[in-house]
């Protein structure tokens, strides 16, 4: 009896506290200024010329509720919030029902957010699942309901939700998917579109048509259950053959959405900007995007990779002096896949790892002429393990070769010998200094790129070579202002000197060997097919594994990193290896059009001297040599005709 009395008291105390909380919340709402939903969370993105290229929650074509098909309105309400016109922002019976179902299933299988709640979340909040965010969502929902009519809320909701493929708002979605206005959508088209916002990357008919049809049928069945349409109307709509367009009426650069996604992710990480974008003034975000270059990049990818090939790509073009990313591809087609590989994927980098090794070698006394023997080699370690790396196509010179030749051919034997000679710490130390944070295993194959690294991280690492020794931070956003022009954030212009500029000059010139015909001998330079095409001078390195192909090249003006491969790590075919190189070549040449090497290549430091050598061996050139190559050395380290070639051919291969 006493226990029941205590429970009754606790029950009434709980009711009182809830009423007090609700009453206090409504009092707060009444005292709060009116929310400006037409500007809230209005993220306006500007390119590097100050032109708008994206406008956050504001659809480019806002349409009045009266100009939206009744089919869309009915389908939306019956799918998302059938009691929308009856509640005051919260459907408490639905909340209780969803809570019971979720508790029963021990998982969050059913939601209970109303349209008003969803609109509040879209406008003012991030999507983190914290109690603070849920409390803020409740307050914003109440404020919206207190200041706006149901029709105004529904109109705003339909004009701002994400219908996939970068299309915000029902009018943009209608034109993209069906090439018609929102007012013209029939029941079949409306229910297909209404199904998308729940998970655009899953329910878009362009991504998975069968799954989209299942979602459409679920919506049609809900409308039948709620007696909005008949079974005959449902069947007719479901069986209607949809004519999907997938294009905008005006020409747009759809790949800009990859860049916009990257900006959004960076925005969320900035501590100077509140986690919730609830500033009624909106945000102006100034980025490094070069729209002209982005358009060229998108066109190049489309022209290079056939539509019927499932291989994917990611591309990063960066100003190596500032870290500003000017163009980005997270895949070959945003409309087909919004997964941003440039941001989220890590892949084996292959021989693009070698420049970090060769910089370490130059730092530890090697020169452009330092030689190891190119021959099939088995390395035996103290633990009796053997390691037998192979060159591509099993081609070996069976003679001493210079560092320049090793770079030109991407020699694996030379790289492993250098790595073991220096010790693994040398390569890892350089990689860490330039900004590589990925896990790097202390194994003999490390310089062959068996570790997985993100493409933006690799581009940032190479930037230290491109800018003559400075570690930079890759970024998309340069500045953020509120709607009234107050500066909230500026990208820090911090550069840390981590490499020697004279050694980067030598390395950068060595990396031109990859397309230099002077290195044709027992093998061909890896990018020799570009020798006649390139109009400018670049440092370039490719990387190849069974499932990944890379090309990273730069001058002091621009850095471009390209990856190509399959999402499921399927092995590349012979023809697949051409895509990354062609994308890289066409992109950098477009960017540098009209510029001269005097503008974009490096000036020789005073402590560096040039000397003509026989390129394959690296020894000083003589009159008898058919090929003479100008190579660079720190003064005092030039090879002489009396020097013994640095060569371990007479010794047994043994590493401890």
What pLDDT, on the 0 to 100 scale, is given for residue 145? 77
Please tell me which residue, 400 or 42, carries the higher pLDDT value: 400
Q: E strands of 486-547, at which residues? A: 487-490, 496-497, 539-544
Residue 247's pLDDT is 63
Lookup: tokens for 379: 């390395």
Q: Which residues of 412-451 are buried (b: 16+ CB within 10 A; e: fewer)?
A: bbbbbbbbbbbebebbbebbebbbbeeebeeebbbbbbbb
How do residues 406-452 score in pLDDT, each as one tens digit?
999 999 999 999 999 999 899 999 999 999 999 998 889 999 998 99
**What pLDDT is attached to residue 648?**
42
Cα torsion angle, 76, 80, 82, 85, sign: negative
pTM of the complete model: 0.77
Greater confidence (248 vs 145) lies with 145
The neighbouring-strand residues paired with 470 are 497
- The domain locations on the chain are 1-31, 62-252, 298-634
Q: Which 3 state secondary structure label does DSSP give 497? A: strand
Per-residue pLDDT at 245: 87
pLDDT attached to residue 653: 37
Which member of 113, 338, 351, 617 is catalytic?
A: 351
In tens, the pLDDT along 551-587 reads 999 999 999 999 999 999 999 999 899 999 999 999 9
Distance between CA 93 and CA 83 in Å, rounded?
10
Where is average pLDDT lowest: 84-98, 374-388, 556-570, 595-609?
84-98
Query: Of how many residues is the chain composed?
Result: 656
Q: What is the pLDDT of residues 4-36, one digit of tens each?
A: 666 666 655 655 555 555 555 555 555 555 555
DSSP-assigned letters across all residues of 15-69: HHHHHHHHHHHHHHHHHSPPP-TTTTT-EEEE-TTS-EEEESSS-SS---GGGS-
Distance CA 210, CA 165 (A): 18
Average pLDDT over residues 448-465: 96
Q: What percent of the chain has pLDDT over 70?
A: 81
Confidence band (pLDDT; 50, 70, 90) for 307? confident
The domain made up of 298-634 has a fold known as Beta-lactamase (3.40.710)
| pLDDT tens per residue across span 47-100 | 999 998 876 554 457 889 999 999 999 999 998 888 888 877 665 555 555 444
Chain-centroid distance of CA 510 in Å reads: 30
60, 45, 122, 53: which is closest to 283 by C-alpha? 45
The fourth-level CATH superfamily of domain 62-252 is: Biosynthetic peptidoglycan transglycosylase-like (1.10.3810.10)
Rounded to an integer, what distance in angstroms lies between the CA atom of residue 176 and that of residue 157? Answer: 18
Residue 564 and residue 318: Cα distance in Å, rounded?
18
Q: Is 351 a catalytic residue?
A: yes
| Active site (annotated) includes residue 80 | yes
For the segment 454-470, the average pLDDT, to the nearest whole number, is 98
Chain-centroid distance of CA 380 in Å reads 41
**Is the pLDDT score of 292 beyond 60?**
yes
The answer, yes or no, to whether residue 314 has pLDDT greater than 70, is yes
Q: What is the dihedral of CA 517, 519, 522, 527, to 10 degrees?
A: -60
pLDDT of residue 13: 63
Catalytic residue among 57, 59, 69, 80: 80
- The structure tokens 């081609």 sit at 395
Mean of the per-residue pLDDT values of the chain: 85
Calculate mean pLDDT across residues 617-630.
92
655 has a pLDDT exceeding 50: no
What percent of the chain clears pLDDT 90, i.e. is strictly above it? 61
Model confidence band, residue 321 (pLDDT cutoffs 50, 70, 90) = very high
Characterize the bridge pairing of strands 43-46 and 283-287: parallel
């Amino acid at each position: 009896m006493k226990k029941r009395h205590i429970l009754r008291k606790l029950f009434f105390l709980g009711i009182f506290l809830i009423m007090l909380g609700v009453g206090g919340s409504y009092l707060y709402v009444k005292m709060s200024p009116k929310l400006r939903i037409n500007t809230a969370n209005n993220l306006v993105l500007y390119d590097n010329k100050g032109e708008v290229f994206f406008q956050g929650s504001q659809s480019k074509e806002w349409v009045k509720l009266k100009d939206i098909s009744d089919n869309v309105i009915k389908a939306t309400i019956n799918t998302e919030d059938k009691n929308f016109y009856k509640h005051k922002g919260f459907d408490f019976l639905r909340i209780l029902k969803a809570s019971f179902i979720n508790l029963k299933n021990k998982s969050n299988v059913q939601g209970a957010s109303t349209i008003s709640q969803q609109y509040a979340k879209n406008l003012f909040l991030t999507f983190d699942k914290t109690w603070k965010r849920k409390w803020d969502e409740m307050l914003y929902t109440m404020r919206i309901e207190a200041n706006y009519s149901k029709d105004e809320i529904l109109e705003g909701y339909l004009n701002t939700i994400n219908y996939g493929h970068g299309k915000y708002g029902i009018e943009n979605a209608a034109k993209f998917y069906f090439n018609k206005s929102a007012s013209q959508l029939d029941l079949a088209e409306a229910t297909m579109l209404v199904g998308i916002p729940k998970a655009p990357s899953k329910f878009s008919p362009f991504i998975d048509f069968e799954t989209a049809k299942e979602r459409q049928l679920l919506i049609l069945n809900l409308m039948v259950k709620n007696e909005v349409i008949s079974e005959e109307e449902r069947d007719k709509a479901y069986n209607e053959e949809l004519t999907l367009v997938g294009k905008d009426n005006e020409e747009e650069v759809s790949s800009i959405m990859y860049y916009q996604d990257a900006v959004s992710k960076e925005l969320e990480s900035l501590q100077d900007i509140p986690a919730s974008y609830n500033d009624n003034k909106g945000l102006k975000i100034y980025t490094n995007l070069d729209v002209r270059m982005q358009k060229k990049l998108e066109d190049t990818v489309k022209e290079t990779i056939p539509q019927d090939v499932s291989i994917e790509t990611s591309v990063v073009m960066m100003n190596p002096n500032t870290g500003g990313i000017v163009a980005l591809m997270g895949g070959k087609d945003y409309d087909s896949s919004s997964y941003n590989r440039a941001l989220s994927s890590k892949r084996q980098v292959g021989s693009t790892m070698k420049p970090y090794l060769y910089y370490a070698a130059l730092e530890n006394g090697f020169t452009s002429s330092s030689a190891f023997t190119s021959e099939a080699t088995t390395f035996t370690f103290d633990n009796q393990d053997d390691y037998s790396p192979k060159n591509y196509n099993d081609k070996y010179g069976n003679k001493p070769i210079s560092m320049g030749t090793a770079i030109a051919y991407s020699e694996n034997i030379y790289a492993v010998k250098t790595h073991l000679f220096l010790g693994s710490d040398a390569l890892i130390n350089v990689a860490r200094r330039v900004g590589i944070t990925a896990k790097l295993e202390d194994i003999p194959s490390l310089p062959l790129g068996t570790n997985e690294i993100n493409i933006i991280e690799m581009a940032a690492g190479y930037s230290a070579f491109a800018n003559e020794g400075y570690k930079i931070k890759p970024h998309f956003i340069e500045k953020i202002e509120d709607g009234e022009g107050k500066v909230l954030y500026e990208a820090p212009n911090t550069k840390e000197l981590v490499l020697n500029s004279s050694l980067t000059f030598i390395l950068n010139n060595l990396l031109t060997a990859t397309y230099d015909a002077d290195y044709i001998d027992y093998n061909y330079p890896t990018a020799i097919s570009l020798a006649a095409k390139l109009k400018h001078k670049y440092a370039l390195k490719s990387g190849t594994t069974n499932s990944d192909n890379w090309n990273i090249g730069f001058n002091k003006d621009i850095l471009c990193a390209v990856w190509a491969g399959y999402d499921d790590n399927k092995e590349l075919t012979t023809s697949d290896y051409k895509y990354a190189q062609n994308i890289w070549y066409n992109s950098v040449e477009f960017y540098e059009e009209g510029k001269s090497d005097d503008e974009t290549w490096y000036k020789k430091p005073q402590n560096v001297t040039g000397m003509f050598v026989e390129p394959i061996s690296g020894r000083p050139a003589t009159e008898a040599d058919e090929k003479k190559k100008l190579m660079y050395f720190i003064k005092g380290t030039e090879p002489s005709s009396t020097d013994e070639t640095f060569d371990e051919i007479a010794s047994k291969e043994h590493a401890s």
